[in-house]
Amino acid sequence: MSGNGKWLIITEKPSVAGDIAKAIGGFEKKSDYYDSDKYLMTWAVGHLVELLSPEDLDPKYKRWLLQDLPILPPRFEYKPKDGQKERLDTIKSLANRNNVVGLINACDAGREGELIFRELYDFSGAKKPIRRLWLQSMTHDAIRKEFASLREGKEFDNLGDAARCRAESDWLIGMNATRAVTRRLKPKAQKGVSWSVGRVQTPTLALVVKREAEILRHRPEPYWTIEGRFSTDSHEYSGQWFDPNFKKVESSEDDETAIREKDDRIFSRAQLDKIIAELMAKKDAASASETRKESREIAPQLFDLTTLQREANRRFGMPASRTLQAAQRLYEKHKVLTYPRTDSKNLPEDYVESVKAILNKFGDSKLDFAGVSRRILSRGLLNKERVFNNKGISDHFAIIPTGEVPSSLEGDDQRIFDLVSKRFLAAFMPPAVWAKVERITRISDYHFRTRVSDLQEQGWREVYGKDSEDEPSLPKLHPTDPNASVKVKTENVEPQENATKPLPRLT
């Protein structure tokens, strides 16, 4: 950027404008904007304009009549949202100042942020060059670095077009389908009541309704399993009866049949009694053999927003919205995480040195995983090809720590910071090594199965410490011959009654 004029920076919210002012320096705070030798800066508060409603287009649309559908505007136009005219006037006035030579889009680095800026640009009527500030992190160093390499606004035309298409398709489906369904379903007496239909909300609701109907239709069906207790000269163990000739029913994972049919379930009381009687008659003829295979478990990929939300729900029962709110605070307020609204699980190929810098900061800190960080640096980064991959990145790279060490976090913020930081460290560590043991105990023609995963080398699991999900180990069946068939003693054979359960509700 050159010339004697100033560039107008527009951010998506006031707090971001404050962060940029502190990072760059030289700004004077006015009542509703910042001023410096090179820049003016002001802010939006989310979307300041909205698409015209049908009744804005034509007063006849105040009445919801089927014969007026579909409503297809020749072009989509905007109006100020309630209470936002003063903010819009400020932005328009600044954008059209004679000494303003161009605008810098510093709204959130994503589809919605792109749309917010372009709405304001169009509404202002300005015809000036655009530059894009694309922030992955809100640390002052990151802000200064990105300001030194602003990108041409036209590089993001496709992103802006995608955002407009989404907004306009939401309008077309929402406005037309809501009116159509409401007129079809609403009794005339229910004035003022509408049936909301949306491009995303209605298919999502349909999935929830379909699952709920399946749950309500479900009738518990009794079944039995059989647990056997066995012993060798050195240890006792348990096994679950199963049918080796069982054939899985071809169905989807969400089909109730797939959940009902298992190779260790008995649905007939007569069959159960027959099996138990024969087992008791031949229990002294039990033998067992086993296989032990080494399995290498690589670390899970870095988080994108969806996988972070799933993991937070699994570990802490946090709903998706709460996880996003915490991640957003950690990005904007605490500046300890990168941009959270990403669908990527990789890092740029030129980000290796940045990762080392983050690990150095962690290693010098008093965080619980400081020692792990130092060991990773000492050993060198592993799994580079898997983690650093430009092809796996869309608008943003994966969610990772910025390297800033938080002074005080609590509650959800602490939980999410720990989740992201540990996943980040694990990504550069060696695989965990397991001994996968499957022991088959036979009593005549009946089979019992014992499966255990025995952790041999912690690898990346070191960063998580002792896991409550770790299974107990199973001593070897034969001390020297892994393929030996060994006679075992049947201590007990006991049926257990259960009942089928419906599919779980969607979360």
3-55: pLDDT as tens digits = 579 999 999 999 999 999 999 999 999 999 999 999 999 999 999 999 999 99
Count up the domains in the chain and report the number: 3
Residue 335 lies in a domain: yes
- Told to judge if 339 belongs to the known catalytic residues of this protein, a careful annotator would answer yes
Look at residue 336 and tell me if it is in a domain.
yes
Q: What is the CATH number of the domain that holds 10?
A: 3.40.50.140
Does residue 391 fall inside a structural domain? yes
- Clarify whether residues 438 and 387 are in a common domain: no
Q: Answer whether residue 99 is part of any domain.
A: yes
Give dist(CA 427, CA 429) in Å, integer. Answer: 6
Residues 148 and 22 in one domain: yes
Same domain, 117 and 84: yes
Task: Answer with the one of 373, 401, 426 that is the final residue of a domain.
Answer: 426
Q: What is the pTM of this model?
A: 0.81
Q: What pLDDT is stored for residue 253 in this prediction?
A: 55
Contacts for 40 with CB less than 8 Å, ≥ 6 apart:
6, 7, 8, 9, 33, 34, 94, 97, 100
Asked whether residue 309 falls in the same domain as residue 421, the answer is yes
358 belongs to a structural domain: yes
* Domain that residue 444 falls in: 222-298+433-499
Do 441 and 420 lie in a common domain? Answer: no
Q: Rounded distance, CA 477 to CA 347, Å?
A: 46
CATH of the domain at 402: 1.10.290.10
Annotated catalytic residue: which of 39, 339, 351, 446?
339
Q: Indicate if 380 and 441 belong to the same structural domain.
A: no
Residue 382 covered by a domain: yes
End position of a domain, from candidates 166, 191, 212:
166
Q: How far apart are CA 449 and CA 239, in angstroms?
A: 5
347 shares a domain with 390: yes
Residue reference for tokens 């049949």: 257
Same domain as 141, residue 55: yes
Residues 350 and 473 in one domain: no
On whether both 294 and 309 belong to a single domain, the answer is no
pLDDT at 115: 97
43 close to 13: Cβ distance less than 8 angstroms: yes
Q: Are residues 41 and 73 in the same domain?
A: yes
**pLDDT in the model for residue 187:** 64
Segment 448-492, tens digit of pLDDT: 999 999 899 999 999 998 654 556 678 989 888 878 899 999 999
The predicted structure's pLDDT at residue 468: 44
SS3 letters across 44-63: CCCCCEEECCHHHHCHHHHC
Of the candidates 400, 426, 452, which is a domain's last residue?
A: 426
Distances (CA, A) of 148 to 134, 243, 353, 448: 11, 67, 19, 67
Q: Residue 424's closest CA among 467, 387, 377?
A: 387
| pLDDT digit string, tens, across residues 318-347 | 999 999 999 999 999 999 999 999 999 999
* CA nearest to 348, candidates 385, 393, 314: 393
Residue 243 covered by a domain: yes
pLDDT in the model for residue 257: 67
Q: Are residues 351 and 482 in the same domain?
A: no
328: in domain: yes
Residue-by-residue pLDDT tens, the chain, 507 positions: 555 799 999 999 999 999 999 999 999 999 999 999 999 999 999 999 999 999 999 999 999 999 999 999 999 999 999 999 999 999 999 999 999 999 999 999 889 999 999 999 999 999 999 999 999 889 999 999 999 999 999 999 999 999 999 999 999 999 999 999 999 887 654 677 889 999 999 999 999 999 999 999 999 999 999 999 999 988 999 999 999 999 876 655 556 666 678 999 999 999 999 999 999 999 999 999 999 999 999 999 999 999 999 999 999 999 999 999 999 999 999 999 999 999 999 999 999 999 999 999 999 999 999 999 999 999 999 999 999 999 998 878 999 999 999 988 999 999 999 999 999 999 999 999 999 999 999 999 999 999 999 899 999 999 998 654 556 678 989 888 878 899 999 999 999 999 999 999 987
